[in-house]
Structure 1
Amino acid sequence: MDRLTLYIANKNYSSWSFRPWMALTGVGIDFEEVLIPFDDAAGNPNIKAVSPTGRVPLLQHGALKIWESLAIIEYAAELYPDAGLLPADRAERSLARSVSMEMLSSFRALRSACPMNIRRPKARIALPDGVDTDISRIETIWRDLLQQSGGPFLFGAFGAADAMFAPVVNRFEIYDLVDRSDTLAYMQTMKAHPAWRKWEEAARVEPWVVPEDEV
């Protein structure tokens, strides 16, 4: 079988890259990582050379190219069905896909106001309209799933849904957005995962600095 190659951008900033990287790494799927930084205001031409959208993440498997975080995760789940990216139970699998898709398509106020930044010191900011609503909805999703599964991850074991929400964990922490004990406990569980720690360690030593309004 051809080896998987995952093209990503800066680990400090790229929430879209973080999701599939965390998913594949978190369940032990082997892949080659190629990091292409977005350090050019006009867009790094090296990204455009490999990706039809001019963006990353992108997964290459032989001649096949798959872009967009959730599509990459779904492809990996099909390729490695025993890895546990998606729940074995059909109903839970459907729910995992639903909340993952909601994460992909929603929460624009939170994304815009609070970009991911691993190295950012923890500090609150003035929040525009809509962010509190996004926070409340995400906390409800987490709380309901954790109560249903018994934790420690959203569907018991670490999987795709956790990876899709991984950048939110960083946003909640660095902008000091939440104080519920169950939310904080889940965030600590995510941050303690070996894949999270590996990504964070790499992000903290990256040389690139990108203004927040360009992320």
Structure 2
Amino acid sequence: MEKPLLIIGNRNYSSWSLRAWLLLKAFNVDFDEQLVELFHPSARPTLETHSPTGKVPILVYGEKDNKVTVWDTLAIAMHVNEYFTDIDIWTGTDKPNTETRNNNQSRINSAYCQSIVAEMHSGLTGIRNEMPMNIRATAKIQPSSACLADITRIEDIFDDCLKGRSADSFLFGDFTAADVFFAPVVLRLQTYADASNIALQPMTKQYCQTMLNHPHIQAWQQSALTETRIIEEDEAGEIMSIAGVLANNHSF
């Protein structure tokens, strides 16, 4: 299979890009990447060439009549699972392991994983709108009831998945697409929860720390902290502190 190209946006802000990038990294897909600046004219030629929606992320490979383009994060996940990895992204287990795949518990976990990934992909708009991903910032907001309801729902998901598992477990034990799709939530909570006096359940804090310890999450965050562009559309709340290269150049 030809090496694909993943086109992503600014690491500090682009939660959708993080999902696609983390998915490919976590499931051992060899790929090239190209970063374009969100909401900037310089991105237009690349987006017009590859994306019918003008949005990132985009996964492309092949030439001319054989070119394959996938332009939605959930579609990228399904395409990668079909063509690029020997690990089933819904269970985190090896595909050749037919005994595991035919196990009823595996089917239950796969169905649950697919359901919460779809729920995250299509809903939970309160937390999305009020807590945009902003990795370098610590910020205080006044969350609405819709945002708090989303956090409660997310905590219920985490609790249901993690109960009875080890303290450093991912949502289904092995790393799956569910961890990929909830990764930006973890980074959102890191930015806003403590500064906004949003009390999180111990299980949520435990899972967030497990994700923040993941080497690919740490690599993405370190790259985000080297970025200098500020996108006002993705800045929210009262900025309490800034990390990274902008730390000494920001007035509060």
- Check whether TM > 0.5: yes
CA distance in 2, matches of 1:212, 1:146: 34
Corresponding residue to 2:74 among 58, 70, 74? 70
* 1:3-42 mapped onto 2 (5 Å cutoff): 3-40=3-40
Contact 1:115-1:212 at 8 Å conserved across structures: no
Q: Which runs of 4+ in 1 moved over 6 A?
A: none
Letter in 2 for 1:51: S
Q: Aligned partners of 2:206, 2:182: CA distance in 1, in Å?
A: 14
Q: Give the conservation status (yes or no) of the 8 Å contact 2:3–2:31.
A: yes
Task: Report whether the alignment pairs 1:96 with 2:96.
Answer: no
Displacement, 1:49?
Answer: 2.4
Query: Which segment drifts farther, 164-173 or 41-50?
Result: 41-50
Residue range with higher mean Cα deviation, 127-136 or 99-108? 127-136
Please tell me whether residue 111 in structure 1 is matched to residue 115 in structure 2: no
Please report the TM-score for the alignment, with normalisation by the length of structure 2: 0.79
**Shift in Å, 1:23:** 1.3
1:176-215 superposed matches below 5 A: 176=193, 177-213=198-234
SS at match of 1:7: strand
Shift of 1:132: 0.9
Amino acid at match of 2:144: P
Alignment-mate amino acid for residue 24 of structure 2: L
Q: Distance in 1 between the 2:177 and 2:83 partners? A: 14
Q: Extract unaligned runs of 5+ from structure 2.
A: 92-100, 237-252
Structure with larger RCO (C-alpha < 8 A, sep 6+): 1
User: Separation in 1 of the partners of 2:128 and 2:229?
Assistant: 21
**Structure 1 residue runs without a partner (length 5+):** none
Distance, in Å, in 2 between the alignment partners of 1:84 and 1:40 is: 36
Aligned residue for 2:246?
Answer: none
Residue of structure 1 in register with 2:243 after alignment = none
Count of residue pairs brought into register by the alignment = 214
Normalising by the residue count of structure 1, what TM-score does the alignment of the two structures yield?
0.92
How many Å separate the matches in 1 of 2:17 and 2:210? 20
Greater shift in the superposed pair: 145-154 or 199-208: 145-154
The match for 2:96 is none
- RMSD between aligned alpha carbons? 2.0
Alpha-carbon distance between aligned partners in 1 of 2:7 and 2:122, rounded to the nearest angstrom: 22
Deviation, 1:41, is 7.0
Alpha-carbon distance change, 213 to 31 in structure 1, aligned in 2, over 3 angstroms: closer
CA contact (8 A) 2:5 2:31 kept: yes
Highest CA radius of gyration, 1 or 2? 2
Aligned AA (2:14):
S
Percent of aligned pairs with the same residue? Answer: 38
* Structure 1, 165-174 or 37-46: larger mean CA deviation: 37-46
